[in-house]
Structure 1
Amino acid sequence: MSSKKYGVLLVNLGTPDAPTPAAIKCYLAKFLSDRRVVDIPPFIWKPLLHGFILPFRSFRVAKLYQEIWTEEGSPLLVYSRRQQALLGEQLAIPVALGMTYGSPSLPQAIDSLLQQGIDNLIILPLYPQYSSTTSAAVFDSISKILREYRTLPTLYFIRSYATHPAYIAALKETIEQSFEKHGQPDRLIVSYHGIPERLAKMGDIYPQDCQATTELLSQALDYPADKIVMTYQSRFGRLPWLSPYTDKTVASLPSQGVEHVQVVCPGFSADCLETLEEIKQQNKMIFLDAGGKKFEYISALNDNKAHISLLEQLVNHGMK
């Protein structure tokens, strides 16, 4: 019997502590100061960030968060906590949750695991598709944190799981449930968070991972492949991002005779501002205002049983 003591670190992006301008300003300051997220030279970016973006964007984003905030708190944190608890029950080993930006922090999560005597750390960023802006940012942060420790655990870093059979199966299940409830749409939009085109040209494999997920999902579904539309959402700034853009696609479809669309966002392991406000609310209004008739957002995998099973399989593979 192995004497190794394993621990699991679940990592997600993070969320403000409250839907207030002050809390959001603090959160965005950390997020947008990461060179993995914004690689503009600091002497150019910092004055712009602190002098213009944060003072104005914090108030606007606070209003958006207020629309999706629940009695339990931020949806992203609520679902992430549930994932942590359910995975811990399934694995019967320590599972900690850390956010790259915000609370609970990565230093707190790592310290809690090491205090329990774990000597093998499995790191699972909750990003199915790899990107330097997400998965690599997690790796950077953890590497920096571990510099403070004299004795390091053996690390197993799960870079991505864009093509894992259990992941595709879990997505298929949620989509089929939506089809059964609302009927098959004229188009199924598969929307991923975007990144600047420049990063992809520099070698970020994110678009290839997104394409791989979409192709496998198309093969798994009993639904015409030519009715599946892959898009990118949540662009920021004026530089070109990966396209086609979700909002512009949604706006254009009614003129093509498309009356009913459903949108799934496979890149989000938990519902958050970008799914609940941007897609479920904003893009729905865009579609209806353009002449569409029916719009449904298909929830993220969240704490679904199939999702927890996927996470368990990913961790078990790391323990072999």
Structure 2
Amino acid sequence: MTGATEPTAVFAAQRPRLFGLAYRMLGSAHDADDVLQDAWLRWSGADTAAVTNPAAWLTTTVTRLCLSRLTSAAARHETYPGPWLPEPVLTADRALSPDDTAAQRDSVSLALLLTLERLTPAERAVYVLREAFAYPHREIAQIVGVSEANARQLHTRARKRLAEGGDPAPAGPAGAGRAGWLRLVESFLAAARHGDLPALEALLAADVVAWADGGGRVTAARLPVRGRGRVATYLARTLGGARRVGHAVIAEVNGAPAVLGFAGDALVGVLEVEVDGGVVSGLRLHVNPDKLAHLAHQLSQRAGLRGRLSDGSA
């Protein structure tokens, strides 16, 4: 390499892909940013002129930094106040990474990121590198620091463990199904905001489950709420009392439609609504302000969101 600024330019060009890798491995945009900062410090202090393949060098560095963090992250999740959910990120218009394909955007679904929590750090690294980025096993072995045979075994084991837990359900439809999803969510939010329990229950599956991630920062259920009646009552109390939420819009979050709640211009919540068979089968509510910071920053980089929902606040 030549030129004093070239290492900076090389890292900047690789950064979106590296962030996508770190986010998929960690399920945390904040931690992914920290990893990239550490990677930059190592890159800026390295003899970059001697690096023949900067992309491979940086991928290996980021992957191994993530492996170190995953072990401590598992312990943090066990002591997290209430359900731990991955940080939501915007994925419309390839906002997570300009190089993301449709398949790669599917690989950041909240359901899949939660399922990946079942894997060991090495299994998760191999799975993400293979399934999301299509690295060959030989290169994965070099990145992770194992033999090629071991890399293949880790990939097979990871896929088996994920299959045992069932395929993650999509949060919302694409294409023609989106209009029906929007109508259902419109009705769902209106019923919840007005405390209309009969109407709300009619929109919920019998075995619906609601998770809320407040992280101890804001009031949120510490345990999953299960069952149509309990979820309806919980939502009517939670959303009906949340008068600080002025309006809501639909945006693509982690590859699926989600509801963003605002108080003025401030993002105060993200609601992922899983729909199955024409009813709401699952809900994930993100209200921890720390976990909303990255998505809020993404929003600040956009001109604005369209598609305001009538949420009963008017």
TM-score computed with the length of structure 2 as normaliser: 0.27
TM-score computed with the length of structure 1 as normaliser: 0.27
